[in-house]
Chain A
Amino acid sequence: MKKLLLSLIALVILGNFSHAQETFPRNDAADERPSAFAFTNATIHVDHQKQLTQATLLVKDGKVVQVGNNVTIPKGYQVVDLKGKTVYPGFIDIYSNYGMPEVSRGGGGFGARSTIGPGNPSAYNANDAIKSQYDAFQEFKTDEKTAKKLRDVGFGAVMTFKADGIARGSSTFVTLGEGRSNEVMLAPKAAAMYSFDKGSSRQAYPSSLIGSISLLRQTYFDASWYKSLKDKPFADNGLDAWNANQSLPQIFEANSWINALRADKIGDEFGVQYIIKGGGDAYQRAQALKQSNATVVVPLNYPAAYDVEDPLDAYNVTLAQMKHWELAPANLAHLEKNGVPFAITAAGLQNPGDFLKNLRKAHHYGLSKTAALKGLTTTPAQLLNMGDKVGHLNPGAVANFFIADGDIFEEKTQIHENWIQGKGYMVKGTAPADLSGKYTLSFNGETHALEISGEPGKQQAKIVAGDASIEVSLKVDGAVVGMHFSKTKDGEKITLTGWQQDNNLSGTGRLEDGTFVSWNAAYTAAAEAAAAKPAAAAAEAPQTGEVIYPFVSYGSAQKPQQETILFKNATVWTMEAEGVLTNTDVLIQNGKIQKIGKNLSANGARVIDATGKHLTPGIIDEHSHIGGAAINEGGVNNSSMVRMYDVVDSEDQEIYRALSGGVTAIQLLHGSANPVGGQSALLKLRWGATPDELPIQGADGFIKFALGENVKRQRNSDPVRYPRTRMGVEQVYVDGFTNAQAYEQEWKRYNSLSAAEKANTPAPRRDLVMDAMVEILNSKRFITCHSYVQSEINMFMKVAERFNFRVNTFTHILEGYKVADIMAEHGVGGSTFSDWWSYKWEVRYAIPYGSTLMSREGVLTAVNSDNAELMRRLNQEAAKAVKYGGLDEYDAMKMATINPAKLLHLDDRMGSIKVGKDGDVVLWSDHPLSIYARAEKTVVDGTVYFDVEKDQEMKLAIEKERARLIQKMLGEKAGGASMQRPTGRMRPRFDCEDEFTYTGSNY
């Protein structure tokens, strides 16, 4: 029988601080008690690595005094024998909202009214989402109910903050003790907190992820500019606080690996290494996270298995969802294996009580105990520069530790007590007595063989007579033991009540006839151990499927590799003066087109028989919205500072589907929500790559402008934003460029000053909106302008001419045919829909002959998609110029290849099959302008990213993988696991007009 730690529990109840806050007024006699404890005979984890056995821990006045094996217990210490117990440093969660007020959502809601300027009338930042002035310590209040939940799973201290805004001010670091907030606060200002979410702000800007990133970027510039000003032109207490907070650890809430990389890049721009709160998906790009050098704060929430019994319901669940279900518990193991430093948080768990269960699951899936403990102690402590105080039990540390009855990673282990700042808190209720054993039960002259077995609290009893046995109902209530049973089935009951004394039981009882008797049960032997559970299960991490890149259907574990490829006997559409070459070979090597000719050969090349097939350059879509997490920053009428490069999304399956239609490069454009949109990202469709690997290196800078109905917002519910007419649209441009000229002059003046003069002259404010406008004026950034009717098209060319630059491209340009002569003269290209019309008034006079008319008038013309479906068929869109107006087929094909390359200034390396150009080609089954042509192979940089045969193999592999996962989930269900409904995931398919950010995931 195991002895209860009665003495210990008494201490817990009595334990108190000896160092109550001196500054507080006192009302009666002092009640300060000795607070010195010696915990002996324990297994002690001093830190995540160092473990002592048979050790002693001395704690006095809330601090660790000594820990070791040969510790002499000084006088005045209460000794607590922890034989068989294990002591761990209290866990630390640095991502908590413990004790903080609820945050109301302000800026959200579809069609909600918003404001242009800040709503906060006080002297803070110009944007309500910058709340650096907020300090969590000012509002923090201890909250015993929540504290207990966290203590019960081993936490001793948390960093807590208010999750509101993009710059969220500072967090505070507190223990989970009871009492005054004053007593539990270890560091009032612990870290500076950031996110992409504007929270309660009702200000229109930022309305999207691109805007949030731009706001952060501008705020870094503003803050340093503001700091540099000796004579401040205005007070901005938000920026002051921002600057002051820079000395704190900087923590960024990203919640997913892809946002983690985005956050890290912002940090890189300004020399800040964020600590990043990630998601449970970090395993999907662990290497990329490793390269970011960020320490990641990782939650332990795992999705439940999907209830996939019904095959038609199962059909709706994505592969990524299924795979994520399987791999989420292995998240931390993957991070450990890849060397990504991490801290572990309970944030995101619906029930904090699941924390230990999930931690053990992470361990079961391969996370080492040391790494787990490090992520819960040393790492979080060091991240907050609190490594001297918490996270370990070395002398001087805050006495935060918990006592468990074994290894915390074992299923059975329970935490008995959690000590915070030297004060004990009971976790597990008084352990019920362990009555297990064999007894001789005697009463009223009878003797019976009684057996009690099972875990304390859940013990069962029976009376054994030979092979037969009688069920005995057993109830243990504190110190009182009750039993009742019937000797025969349905017979009258005998009830016994009593207590445990040494190993024996005795008491008083009532027989069938109501007679009271004394009884006793003499302990004779230990109970037979239950059949040992197979321990092997715990030893080996479960088998899981592979991580695929990207983490979505048709991603693969092995990223596609560059090859030397020789196409033999193709009909080659060079898109150069050479025209169409028949029976021609093309060699692609080192990612470039190496040779074009007859009877080519190359050692080690993969030879592809292209007899009867057509080889064209890769299709380039001048107007695309795939591969991005947000399309519009509509909160302002000039968002020239936002950058699509900030939100490239490598996990968009439309990238693969576009490859299946022969597309190899795109311009990821900002949308058309405002007259001046944002900066484009020029991407190659490298399926499987990280977001950073998609951009085309060295490409020119482009920016989206927009004319037309969308920017006027007359169909929008929120009418506050200027402009409302095409008259106002012109003025936005004239105003923007006029200001840009003045801005450039101001900087030129400043830059021409000597160093001494500069020291005495306030620097102009760096304005990212104006930077982009100046780039346009200087032809260092080029405009793609969404446009429909001839009046506005003409207007915009005149604006450009007034400011002495040229518009690069009019996109959509459905009435371009009416001003093709003026366009040709201006030198602007047209990237157009082939046959869209009539979906709104401004396209009423759009005709499918537009591309033919513009082409023939000398306008460099391309076809574009603005649509993930259509972009797979841009060759057919080009072909429509053959039907409508009889454009030459070769000229038509140019509209999908070399012409968009020229519009994007990429024609020196893409858009045609020419030696030295990028190995971006498509092998078609048929004439490429034919409806019957299918892209059989799409090659980017000499890498086959789409292969129609491999596509079918992958489809089968996906079905197989899904079948495996479905079987596994059915097994979970049979095993009694709680399941979730088989709902699916859907990405939005963005077009020009979509104004929301896609914050979701494929899983």
Chain B
Amino acid sequence: MDEKELLGQLATLREPAVLATIVSAKGSTPRKTGARMLVGRDGVIAGTVGGGCGEGEVIAAAEELFAGGPPRTVRVDLTDDFTTWSPAVCGGIMDVFIERANPERFDGP
């Protein structure tokens, strides 16, 4: 999906969604600063912040926002030792800002 399509989806969301944006990336990360992902209550709607390399962590953090948590920056460290066979061996660190994309569609606070 190209960036303009993702912007279009973001602009016309009907269901509550959390927007995750890579706001800084150092070292080797699969996606760079500016990459975005939209997460709905049932999982990813569109976009990616890097797939296996750290995306699960971001999706888990997005859950907090559906539960009423405040917007925040999630630091994703992908510098695990590669001998562990962890998926997080890309070699970089990224900060991902997560927030409610369309707060007016969320119930409650």
Asked if A and B are interacting partners, one says no
Which A positions have Cβ atoms within 8 angstroms of B? none
